[in-house]
Amino acid sequence: MNISHVSLINKMEQELLKAKKAERPQNIREHINSIKALCEVMLETESAGYSQQSFPKEVPAQQMTMPAVNQQSQSVRITEESKLETDDGANGDSLFEF
């Protein structure tokens, strides 16, 4: 993954502003740790030989078309003979019979 150095620096600046606004030492420490992690990511990408280019411009995605499905809906008729008979007298006509 090629991450822009500009976007990393912007993220560091945002975390620094949050650290300055934080009142509790624990919150300040969390934001400083975030800055540290961003610095490590930036240093690792540079040492791994990645260029400092921005993300490539987005290429418009090709529209994906779904093949037409020729399915005909078939209705199912329940006749009096095919109704479910249970031992408690329920016939399956009600949603509340369970």
Q: In three state form, how does the secondary structure of 26-49 look? A: HHHHHHHHHHHHHHHHHHHHHHCC
Instruction: Give 86's pLDDT tier (boundaries 50, 70, 90).
Output: low
- What pLDDT is attached to residue 54? 46
Residue 49 is predicted with a pLDDT of: 64
Higher pLDDT, 15 or 2: 15
pLDDT tens-digit map of 3-53: 788 999 999 999 999 999 999 999 999 999 999 999 999 888 777 765 444
Distance (Å, rounded) from C-alpha 52 to C-alpha 74? 59
Q: Quote the CA–CA distance of 89 and 97 in Å, as a whole number.
A: 10
**Average pLDDT of the residues in 91-96:** 69
